[in-house]
Amino acid sequence: MKTIVLTIDPNEPSAEAIAEAARVLRAGGLVAFPTETVYGLGANALDVSAVLRIFGAKGRPANNPLIVHVADSAAARNLATDWPDSAARLAARFWPGPLTLVLRRCDTVPDVVTASGPTVAVRVPAHPVAQALVRAAGVPIAAPSANRSTQLSPTRAEHVLHSLDGRIDLLLDGGPTTGGLESTVLDLTATPPRLLRPGLVGIAELESLLGPLTRAMPVGQALQPDRPQPLPSPGLLPRHYAPHTPLECVETANTERILTLQREGQRIGWVTFDVAGDTPSGVVRRVLPANSAGYAAHLYAVLHELDALGLDRIIVVLPPDTDDWLAVRDRLRRAATD
């Protein structure tokens, strides 16, 4: 299959490009598009064979359910049997935006979308291209991140092509995404609500509205991939969002470890969030912003870039263990090899 790429203005998407993408979606095709978090790989959520094509293109296990993207809260409500007060309050505050709500699902949502589970994950994206696309398509859009399963999520069109060129019908290239990390996933079927995946909507913001949340298991105790039943949230799998190059997280910007690896002949990439300290010669260093939003926006692009250099190892200095950095630390831990 030839993947068609249409360049689109991220702020004022052209009506023709959106109409073409909507046509492909309604015809059962796969369209990758930018959201405010990462690029998504969309299919008509009500078309079983179209959704199955997402799993095929990504190599995604069938027990990993998909997020359904809709234009507004009314459309989200149509997919759920329950619309708790917490959902109404969260939707009013954070939608459109990078928050995914897990709700009890309606029968209209095909099993293939929910991995046959009793819930559905829904989100109203804020990105003008994603908004225009869900509106023009007129159907809910199931969309995981537009990457091969377990690999790094794409924040640029070139990342999507790198992993899915020839496997999808259309890519809307709207330039780099601004948020850079996947949405926060919150399970409202649990009491209190359970944070399944930290993301761009921070836990402090959620707790100020809802009171204390339950947090999903830390990475070390995460579920095993060979679990037969649908996973509560397969984003909880220990290894996920990972580059090909082995990635190691360290707590401080100490160069001892790097020098040791270099003596063994290894070529090292080094990701810090602080310009301080000398860079050992031969090391490819990238300095990310020292605030969590700026860091999140650029993290995947830096990992994609370092991954393409064929280094032996990427060493990442972990940002502080505070709620502000929860999502970033979560993704780094999952990207780590050991």
Query: How near is the Cβ of 12 to ligand TXA at its closest, in Å?
Result: 21
Within 24-53, the residues that bind ligand TXA by CB under 6 A are 35, 37-38, 40
**Location of structure tokens 């702020």:** 11
Using CB under 6 A as the binding rule, whether residue 197 contacts ligand TXA is answered as yes
Query: How near is the Cβ of 274 to Mg ion at its closest, in Å?
Result: 29
Using CB under 6 A as the binding rule, whether residue 235 contacts ligand TXA is answered as yes
Using CB under 6 A as the binding rule, whether residue 196 contacts ligand TXA is answered as yes
Using CB under 6 A as the binding rule, whether residue 193 contacts ligand TXA is answered as no
Using CB under 6 A as the binding rule, whether residue 10 contacts ligand TXA is answered as no
Count of residues engaged in binding ligand TXA, rule: CB under 6 A: 29
Which of ligand TXA, Mg ion, none sits in contact with 100, Cβ below 5 to 8 A by type?
Answer: ligand TXA
Query: How near is the Cβ of 240 to ligand TXA at its closest, in Å?
Result: 8
When binding is defined by CB under 6 A, the residue of 47, 173, 182, 307 that contacts ligand TXA is 182
Using CB under 6 A as the binding rule, whether residue 163 contacts ligand TXA is answered as no
- Peptide bond between residue 232 and the one before it cis (omega within 30 degrees of 0): no
Q: Which amino acid is at 172?
A: L
Query: How near is the Cβ of 144 to Mg ion at its closest, in Å?
Result: 5
Using CB under 6 A as the binding rule, whether residue 117 contacts ligand TXA is answered as yes
Query: How near is the Cβ of 255 to ligand TXA at its closest, in Å?
Result: 34
Judged by beta carbon, residue 117 or residue 277, the one nearer Mg ion is 117
Using CB under 6 A as the binding rule, whether residue 145 contacts ligand TXA is answered as yes
> Which residues of the shown chain bind ligand TXA in the complex (CB under 6 A)?
35, 37-38, 40, 64-67, 98, 100, 102, 114, 117, 119-121, 123, 143-145, 182-183, 185, 196-197, 232-235
